[in-house]
Structure 1
């Protein structure tokens, strides 16, 4: 299908989201089909200008999954990682929860966080997932949020590494390590929920579980 026609197929949704009046595009006093098409395209472009960037990104055709290698050489070869608020939340969570793990273990923890973002049982953003329960004493889902210590990043090289992993995961790296896990814990503890949740993987010092549906 022609790329322009694909975008025209999205135009109705865009116009509805932007609140554009349908009378402007659905009624034409001309029998010239070129003029009618031009009117529609012009209205589409005006509507696109009013749509937030993140929504436009979601409308773009999906690209092939990012190919990754779970080793230090691959991570070191990636460019310096930067990003917005959601990237920062994921990088920080990986730093405090998994900086001592292997590369594969750090990717696995990132999978858990993003699996929660995709689940209707949890907040629909990375920051929301990571910070969930912070308002309640002992209610945090991630221990570093409520441990009472300042979240100071002292190991710059370790942070640079997990930041690249966070960037890769946000950019579409496959989640192929944990079998859809939504929970994990270290091997030196055994929380009550681990008795009933299906275990999906063991990577490094972490055990991973999927919340029953």
Structure 2
């Protein structure tokens, strides 16, 4: 009898253990462990990962067989007049070239080509000197430097005139330095009929202007 009671107690213990292992909805502890594992993976997926390093290889492109390097345009002129005639006709100018050509036009359009180039080279020289504004427009519009500038503006230009077209050509030559002027290095000039008594080195008189450095 005692043996039967022990056996019944053993069976009851087993049933209790099974009850703990399986809930009322039939899910097992192994299923709950699996859910916990999946939740852990989900949390890990939101954690920052180490940055991915991309290694790029150098890309080279073969030069086509028919490729020819573009060369700067070279002018073969026996005189300044020839060089002026060879300049491309520009219908549109940058603001800087507009300022340079405008100064040549207003200061020296009645002068010879050499005289106009001399004025242009002064403006180019000032812009490069470090002593004046470093742009053509800055040089031209600097206060009390050029008398044709009134109220910070240039007068009207006759764009269709021969004088303007010639000033544009001279501006290109002065800017590119394709023709040597006898006053290269000059930073100042004045009309020959005035005497400002500057303590400067006189370089030359070209037409109606005297140039100094």
1:75 equivalenced with 2:76 (yes/no): no
1:110 equivalenced with 2:120 (yes/no): yes
Which one of 203, 206, 209 corresponds to residue 203 of structure 1? Answer: 206
- Aligned pair count reads 151
1:201 Cα deviation from its structure 2 partner: 1.4
Conservation of the 8 A alpha-carbon contact between 2:121 and 2:184:
no
Could you tell me which residue of structure 2 aligns to residue 101 of structure 1?
111
CA distance in 2, matches of 1:92, 1:120: 22
Which one of 149, 159, 184 corresponds to residue 164 of structure 2? Answer: 159
Q: Provide the TM-score with structure 1 as the length reference.
A: 0.60
CA distance in 1, matches of 2:140, 2:123: 7
Which of 74-83 and 176-185 deviates more?
74-83
When residues 180 and 148 of structure 1 are mapped into structure 2, their CA distance, relative to the original with a 3 A threshold, is closer
Could you tell me which residue of structure 1 aligns to residue 27 of structure 2?
none
SS of alignment partner, residue 192 of structure 1: coil
Structure 1 gap ranges (5+): 1-26, 43-61, 134-139
1:150 Cα deviation from its structure 2 partner: 6.5
Which one of 108, 116, 132 corresponds to residue 142 of structure 2? Answer: 132
Which one of 108, 115, 122 corresponds to residue 132 of structure 2? Answer: 122
When residues 74 and 131 of structure 1 are mapped into structure 2, their CA distance, relative to the original with a 3 A threshold, is same
Could you tell me which residue of structure 1 aligns to residue 189 of structure 2?
184
1:186 Cα deviation from its structure 2 partner: 1.0
Deviations 1:128-151 (A, max 9, x none): 000001xxxxxx201101389971
Which one of 143, 146, 157 corresponds to residue 142 of structure 1? Answer: 146
Structure 2 gap ranges (5+): 1-52, 62-70
SS of alignment partner, residue 163 of structure 2: helix
CA distance in 2, matches of 1:187, 1:124: 27
1:65 Cα deviation from its structure 2 partner: 8.0
CA distance in 1, matches of 2:165, 2:86: 12
Deviations 1:71-98 (A, max 9, x none): 4343234321342000100111001000
Q: Provide the TM-score with structure 2 as the length reference.
A: 0.60
1:163 Cα deviation from its structure 2 partner: 0.8
Could you tell me which residue of structure 2 aligns to residue 85 of structure 1?
95
SS of alignment partner, residue 145 of structure 1: coil
Conservation of the 8 A alpha-carbon contact between 1:67 and 1:173:
no
Conservation of the 8 A alpha-carbon contact between 1:93 and 1:130:
yes
Larger radius of gyration: 2
1:120 Cα deviation from its structure 2 partner: 1.1
SS of alignment partner, residue 201 of structure 1: strand
